[in-house]
Structure 1
Amino acid sequence: MKHMLLIGLGPLLACCVQPGAGAQSIAEAVPVARAAPAAPERIVPLEQASNFRDIGGYAAAGGKHVRWGRIYRAGAQPMLTDRDVIAVRALGIGNIVDLRSDEERILAPTRLDGIRYNAVGYSFAPLLETIQTALKKDGTETAIKEMYAVLPTMIAPQVRLLFDRLLANEGATLFNCSAGQDRTGLAAALVLSALGVDRETIYADYLLSERHRHTEWEVAPIPDALATVNPVYAYFAKYRKEPETAKPPSLSASDGRPYLATSFAVIEKRWGSVPAYLEQEIGLNAVDLARLRALYLE
């Protein structure tokens, strides 16, 4: 059976290839995770949005829970309707942190004008080349795992920005990539980890993206002429025309482990632990952590 790779880092890739026969998970000890149904209040009901949800309500440090209505994760917002814009504004969002690349932000700008917008520029092209090379050599699973292996360093500047905005406490915070799945999935995992949410719950939250993406609203229509300007634009254009990309892909490898486990394994191998990564790579010290929990736990 062919395994479809539809990466939320755009989503830019839609490739039907066989998984590498020898693909192994970096995180061999990670238990198989399952996505539980989301609490009704977790999903923000919008007309033309993808994967827009609240990460409140989870059990966290000290017997407390993550506050509802304070931290939202989502896919891109280029196709929001006017009523969607009104509904999102009513959430009291003070900052948007966009995890996407320069190419993505140009092609699919948010419709949430007037809300403080935060981003760190980078090109997706180098990672696209890495993924394409892995696809040709070892197949889909290896390519996805290689992507998740580089995410902790690739999006570190964006994660620093996200924690900075959370600590500023200027209203609710929304962060997104294109699908609200991969980069957003890791960013959400790091925020929840900092708040003391257990790993099993973090994986369950990550896997909710399988159910709550609406790929048709993640990228606006792209003029054919624009596809000739940049290879990343070309991938977006191709993605829009591939009917098999309409269904969100599985976020678990063939062994049942979530792909997010690869990022955690890399973090724990290189930095020793997630708290060490947050301190050394992101700059989140003990005072910051205490403030974060005071602001976002109840």
Structure 2
Amino acid sequence: MEPTLLNIHHGYNFRDLGGYQTADGRRVRPHRLVRSGGLDRLSDRDVAFLHEYGVRVDVDFRTQDERQEKPDRLPASAQYVADPVFSEDKTQVSKTWAEEQRLFSKDAKAGYHNMLRTYRDLALSDSAQKAYREFFDLALGEADHTLLFHCSAGKDRTGMAAVYVLAALGVDQATIRKDYLATNQFIQPALDEVLTQAKKEGGNQNMLQGLTDIWTVYPEYLDTALAAINETYGDMQRYLQEALRLTDHQLTTLRQLYLA
């Protein structure tokens, strides 16, 4: 199935995970799990839309600096939870122009290699595992409404959260990969904006390539995280149980809550 894109006017990459089929033939319920990019630009109309859609929990994976610079706009009915995956934004999508110049102008592959390192950390770092465990705790406590989870671009920290929750629900790896890569269909307007600004500031070709690589999802990024998981834990199921400490009972509960 194709991803379900929400009708948000002043944000991007807002997607309902509902409809994905599991290995045992069930499907993820709609209006239960929404992944997205930033909420700082939402219009009043968008905020009202999220309320009507049922969003009652907003899980923010961004750092404290990111949250302070671009605070979420969300319905008054939604509980806001700061759940930082990293203490600093390793994905680099929130860096200033000066920081990006220093990082990417001399090496066209700097952005790509940065993302490979980041994805290993998204699987193995203590801070990421703690954040994703809290995410599951929130999901386990949400019986009726929509839980929305996001970072800045909605593709890396959010992307791995989607990988983990879909795996926990029993969705097959091919479908999980397709959902992960679908970000590239929806991130283009944000990437175009970033590249246009970089060109105005005199960014060279190395810079433009580096920015493209940190605003794009590649199969190699996900593969790096999955390889780290398999090398360290054996497989995704053991990762969920040992790294994220989900019990068999909790996995069963998740499936009761989010599958139809």
TM range (shorter): 0.7 to 0.9
Indicate the structure with greater helix content.
Answer: 2
Distance change in 2, residues 1:195/1:116 (3 Å): same
Q: Deviations over 1:221-247 (max 9, x none)?
A: xxxxxxxxxxxxxxxxx9894255699
The structure with higher relative contact order (CA 8 Å, sep 6+) is 1
Return the offset for 1:292.
Answer: 0.3
**Residue 49 of structure 1 contacts residue 214 of structure 1 at CA under 8 Å; is this kept in 2?**
no
Aligned mates of 1:240, 1:188 — CA distance in 2: 30
Q: What amino acid does structure 2 have at the position aligned with 1:150?
A: D
Q: Give the gaps of 5 or more residues in structure 1.
A: 1-35, 220-237
- Judged with a 3 Å threshold, the aligned counterparts in structure 2 of structure 1 residues 137 and 240 are, in CA distance, closer, same or farther, namely closer
Q: Hey, what's the Cα distance between the residues in 2 that align with 1:111 and 1:215? A: 20
Q: Is the 8 A contact 1:47 1:80 kept in 2?
A: yes
Alignment of 1:72 with 2:45, yes or no, is no
Within the alignment, does 1:197 sit opposite 2:171 as a pair? yes
Q: 2:183 aligns with which of 188, 209, 227?
A: 209
CA distance in 1, matches of 2:165, 2:81: 17
SS in 2 for 1:72: strand
Aligned-residue Cα RMSD (Å) equals 3.0
Q: Which of residues 145, 168, 172 is equivalent to 2:116?
A: 145
Instruction: Tell me how far 1:216 sits from its aligned partner.
Output: 4.7
Q: Which amino acid aligns with 1:147?
A: T
Q: Is the 8 A contact 1:215 1:248 kept in 2?
A: no
Percent sequence identity is 33
> Of 110, 116, 119, which residue of structure 1 is paired with 2:72?
110
Change (3 A) 1:166 1:294: same
Per the alignment, do residues 260 and 126 of structure 1 end up closer, same or farther by CA in structure 2, a change over 3 Å counting? Answer: closer
Change (3 A) 1:143 1:275: same
Secondary structure, counterpart of 1:63 in structure 2: coil
Q: What is the CA–CA distance in structure 1 between the aligned matches of 2:220 and 2:114, rounded to whole Å?
A: 14
Moved more, 207-216 or 42-51: 207-216
- In structure 2, relative to structure 1, the CA distance for the partners of 1:249 and 1:88 (3 Å cut) is same
Q: Which residues of 2 match residues 285-296 of structure 1 at below 5 A?
A: 285-296=247-258
Q: Work out the CA distance in 2 between the residues paired with 1:141 and 1:95.
A: 33
TM-score normalized by the length of structure 2? 0.80
Aligned to 1:156: 129
Instruction: Decide which of 98, 119, 123 is 2:87's aligned counterpart.
Output: 123
Question: What is the CA–CA distance in structure 2 between the aligned matches of 1:57 and 1:287, rounded to whole Å?
Answer: 23
- Amino acid of the structure 1 residue aligned with 2:128: I
2:154 maps to 1:180: yes
* Partner-residue secondary structure (3-state), 2:71: coil
Query: Could you tell me how far apart the structure 1 residues matched to 2:226 and 2:110 are?
Result: 22
| Residue identity in the other structure for 1:242 | A
Match of 2:217 among 246, 251, 254: 251
2:8 is equivalent to residue 46 of structure 1 = yes
Shift in alpha-carbon separation, 1:266–1:48, aligned structure 2, 3 A: same
* Structure 2 counterpart of 1:82, one-letter code: D
* SS of corresponding position for 1:156: helix
* Structure 2 alignment gaps of length 5 or more: 93-98, 200-207
Q: 1:125 to 1:85 in 2, by over 3 A?
A: closer
Sort the Cα spacing of 1:116 and 1:214 in 2 relative to 1 into closer, same or farther, 3 A: farther
* Number of equivalenced pairs: 235
Change (3 A) 1:81 1:127: closer
